[in-house]
Structure 1
């Protein structure tokens, strides 16, 4: 005795193919209307399941990322930025830098579009299948200080460390004490060449030592952050950041 469509749907659900179960009646109607072959029907059935799974996967990664807002890159006005051209933005969107664990530092005053660009790049990276995590510097320091005894902090930092791209917003905007600087260095050391970082700041790396208050510690942090990096000024100036001579920057563009 042949099974009904409802029975087959239930079988799909038992196989954890819920999207296929839902799409089955509609696909059967289309198969009859368009005279699909068995192979064409199976192709449509699997494509439907994969499409829905990918959509759910993207939604899950977007929630994981913790973006402050979801604004795509088409809201970023490239014509207002002299420091980054349309060609350079297209190269960033190829994500070779992310695959090779390069870092990106966006510098400029408040309102220059640093966070908007970083979020846009993060969202597009998620659409390409990467795992992304967004956090402000203040939130990061708080998580690091409470990781040992707050379970939520442990969970969030575990997600951060498992990401392909970590975006740290407003880095070095406030002074850090010795413990905070040490915790931050340890994290950067753990992430070094394991993932890519996008850092936004309204202060240049030359000023970061003053904020940390420990030249040796800051040098160790900079050695890792600036090893493989592209630095972009977003204050509508076309010149590149001139870093301290001992830190060599490999330009991606």
Structure 2
């Protein structure tokens, strides 16, 4: 069988992993003392890695993640209120295997979403099914599904996920219908899969999100029963980036100049 024919068959069978390493593997094999079975094993391992990488890329594409930052890229020195050991423990994904939840609390810009995405990236590497969605978008989808009479199917999808990441709960209050549907989803996920949730509001303010103290308590009861809470108190990363470019100083100077002009008038 000719060299070209072999590579043509590998391409036809979509064995890109083997095709990529075949030449170097054959060359090393011919110079060494490996038997044929060891060569075949090496080629099969290369193909397995290729398949896993393809699966990861596909899962990443459909994960809904807004960006692909890892936990290694997170600047813990800028947020000293965060217990790095706690985050590294979460990185092991033990919480997912035990069907536990994670809640990141803190003001806008402190890195809640970055940490949630970073954990999502770790879960994808482990071959887990994950999905990221904004809280308001999620509720709108549930409401639409209810109207179109396929709510059960929609909740079944979210329930099937190993990890559901719900971002920015609390930026806008939920109406009664939306709050009830959100509660239904959390109830269905309870002890069946993990949720990572980010919020800019403390738990004492959740009655303002749901506009119903009883419903807020019911959501918290299920969400926090098996949960790790990371409370972040610190400066905004967005402000940090503006400071690097000098925009904050410029804006402050402009503001002071405007005030001075008004006082002169």
TM-score of Structure 1 vs Structure 2, range by shorter chain: 0.7 to 0.9
Q: Aligned pairs, how many?
A: 235
**Residue 225 (1) aligns with residue 210 (2):** no
Deviation for aligned residue 1:211: 2.1
- Of residues 120, 123, 126, the one that matches 1:125 is 123
Q: Which residue of 1 aligns with 2:176?
A: 178
User: Structure 1 residue aligned with 2:159, among 161, 166, 179?
Assistant: 161
Specify the alignment match of 1:216 in structure 2.
214
Match of 2:74 in 1: 76
* CA distance, structure 2, for counterparts of residue 160 and residue 4 of structure 1: 50
CA shift, 1:98, in A, is: 1.3
Q: 1:226, 1:168 → 2: CA distance?
A: 15
In 1, Cα distance between equivalents of 2:138 and 2:152: 12
> 1:67 & 1:123 partners in 2: Cα distance?
9
Which of these residues, 190, 193, 205, is aligned with residue 192 of structure 1? 190
Cα deviation code 1:194-232 (max 9, x no counterpart): 111111111012211122122222222111101111111
Q: CA deviation at 1:93?
A: 1.2
* Structure 1 partner of 2:37: 39
Q: Which structure features the higher share of helix residues?
A: 2
CA distance in structure 1 between the partners assigned to 2:206 and 2:73 by the alignment: 30
Q: TM-score, normalised by structure 1?
A: 0.82
Change (3 A) 1:49 1:154: farther
- Specify the structure having the higher radius of gyration (Cα): 2
Q: Does 1:204 align with 2:202?
A: yes
**What is the CA distance between 1:75 and its match in structure 2?**
1.8
Q: Distance in 2 between matches of 1:28 and 1:99?
A: 41
Q: 5+ residue gaps in structure 2? A: 236-265
Shift of 1:113: 0.7
Larger displacement relative to structure 2 (74-83 or 64-73): 74-83
Q: How far did residue 48 of structure 1 move? A: 0.7
